[in-house]
Amino acid sequence: MMLSVALRHVFPGFTLDAGFQAPAGLTALFGRSGSGKTTIVNAVAGLLRPQSGRVAVGDAVLTDSARGIFLPPHRRGIGYVFQEARLFPHLTVRQNLLYGHWFTGRGRKADLSHVVEMLGVGPLLHRRPAALSGGERQRVALGRAILSHPRLLLMDEPLAALDQPRKEEILPYLERLRDQAGLPILYVSHSPAEIARLATTVVLVDKGRVTAAGPFADMLSDPAIAPLFGIAEAGSVLTARIEAQEPDGLTRLSTPSGPLFLPRIAAPIGTGLRLRILAQDVMIAVAPPRGISALNVIPARVHDMTAVPGGVLVRLNAGEQMILSRVTARSADLLRLSPGLPVHAVLKAVSVAPGTIGFSAG
């Protein structure tokens, strides 16, 4: 199931001219304030009728200006999750979850138990929203959205109102939803960390246009794009799998770039992971380093180099994955870095914070 969007709408002083495809999984809309993300979301939701354009999910056409099609919001089959969970205060969690269910009349009892389990809200079913934490409320909002059997989920900064611990509590549920729901999720976020952890596809919006779009790993390690996230946030995402729990408290991972060691990750052998490796945490050595404490030394080759504010972003080819490193211009000169040069990428085990590690199915 694929969401395809093509929109053109001229406001005084702002033109939206944006097109992209969002496959099943989570598509992050990213762009600075005023770039047009909310306008895109509104047009997909049916709150804005574009002067011209087409919005479709699979075979279901929601908007097609050429054919005069414009479904009203409530007939689009879209589940929403906003910054603030808009739950009904007088209903229990169970009734809130079932609300969308009744509404569409397409529900089955089995779905409720599946969603309750997926989102871990079983113990909360008989409470009212006032007795829930912000994170719990947001989980119920996710559950309600999914139980309305939508074609598409729209999430507009669903974590923005939560503090860091609450965010970390809810991220695993968003990951499950992404991997299990089998529908496109359109997700607006300002947070590179969230995008690195959750996105399947990244769509970059600037001045009403889509300036780049593609699979998250390519997008995040693209030196032309990474600086847009803020130079301190630039980094790559590696996929990995838990291989062994070592007796000294480390977890051994296998990655397409070779083995990696990180502080204990409490998950079973075989678990798939996404690791966000910040460019500023990766050192480059032109000879195999000896006598250093860093546990992770990954053989690689310089792919390309891009000058950025505060240094040089070096893209390293490591197995089938790209690793980004940021070094000063002086280091790049001293090491005579140039495309094709064999090097070693050095990563401290403790530089990957546990809260940033993403879990993925398969």
Ligand X SMILES: Nc1ncnc2c1ncn2[C@@H]1O[C@H](COP(=O)(O)OP(=O)(O)OP(=O)(O)O)[C@@H](O)[C@H]1O
How many Cβ atoms are within 10 Å of 128's Cβ, its own excluded? 16
CB of 34: closest distance to ligand X in angstroms? 4
Q: Which is nearer to ligand X, 39 or 96 (CB)?
A: 39
Contact status: 14 vs ligand X (CB under 6 A): yes
CB of 32: closest distance to ligand X in angstroms? 7
CB of 302: closest distance to ligand X in angstroms? 35
Element containing residue 112 per DSSP (H, E): helix 109-119
Q: Which is nearer to ligand X, 41 or 147 (CB)?
A: 41
Q: Reduced to 3 states, what is the DSSP secondary structure of residue 222?
A: coil
CB of 169: closest distance to ligand X in angstroms? 24
CB of 201: closest distance to ligand X in angstroms? 18
Q: Which stretch binds ligand X (CB under 6 A): 7-15, 108-116, 175-183, 268-276?
A: 7-15
Q: Are strands 60-64 and 52-57 parallel, antiparallel or unpaired?
A: antiparallel
**Which residues contact residue 168 at a Cβ distance below 8 angstroms, ignoring those fewer than 6 apart?**
355
Q: Reduced to 3 states, what is the DSSP secondary structure of residue 1?
A: coil
Q: Which is nearer to ligand X, 78 or 323 (CB)?
A: 78
> CB nearest ligand X: which residue?
38
DSSP 121: -
The residue within the footprint of ligand X, chosen from 11, 106, 338, 354 (CB under 6 A), is 11
CB of 141: closest distance to ligand X in angstroms? 19
Q: Report whether 234 contacts 307 (CB < 8 A).
A: no
Residues 32-71 that bind ligand X (CB under 6 A): 33-39
Q: Which is nearer to ligand X, 29 or 62 (CB)?
A: 29
Size of the site for ligand X (CB under 6 A): 11
CB of 72: closest distance to ligand X in angstroms? 18
How many Cβ atoms are within 10 Å of 185's Cβ, its own excluded? 28
Q: Which is nearer to ligand X, 31 or 135 (CB)?
A: 31
Element containing residue 9 per DSSP (H, E): strand 3-11
How buried is 206 (Cβ within 10 angstroms: 0-12 exposed, 13-18 middle, 19+ buried)?
Answer: middle
Contact status: 251 vs ligand X (CB under 6 A): no
DSSP 24: S
CB of 203: closest distance to ligand X in angstroms? 12
Phi, psi of 36 (to 5 degrees): 120, 10
Q: Which stretch binds ligand X (CB under 6 A): 27-35, 126-134, 144-152, 314-322?
A: 27-35
**Which residues contact residue 301 at a Cβ distance below 8 angstroms, ignoring those fewer than 6 apart?**
316, 317, 318, 340, 341, 342, 343
Q: Which is nearer to ligand X, 5 or 322 (CB)?
A: 5
CB of 154: closest distance to ligand X in angstroms? 13
Contact status: 189 vs ligand X (CB under 6 A): no
The residue within the footprint of ligand X, chosen from 31, 100, 223, 227 (CB under 6 A), is 31
Own/partner contacts of 12-17, CB < 8 Å, gap of 24 or more, are 14/39, 14/208, 15/208, 16/40, 16/43, 16/50, 16/208, 17/208, 17/209
C-alpha distances in Å from residue 131, one per residue of 81, 94, 120: 20, 13, 16
Q: Which is nearer to ligand X, 157 or 218 (CB)?
A: 157
Q: Which stretch binds ligand X (CB under 6 A): 31-39, 83-91, 244-252, 264-272?
A: 31-39
Chain-centroid distance, C-alpha 298: 26
Q: Which is nearer to ligand X, 9 or 326 (CB)?
A: 9
CB of 208: closest distance to ligand X in angstroms? 7
Q: Which is nearer to ligand X, 157 or 304 (CB)?
A: 157
Chain-centroid distance, C-alpha 313: 22
Q: Which is nearer to ligand X, 94 or 190 (CB)?
A: 190
**Contact positions toward ligand X, by CB under 6 A?**
11-12, 14, 31, 33-39
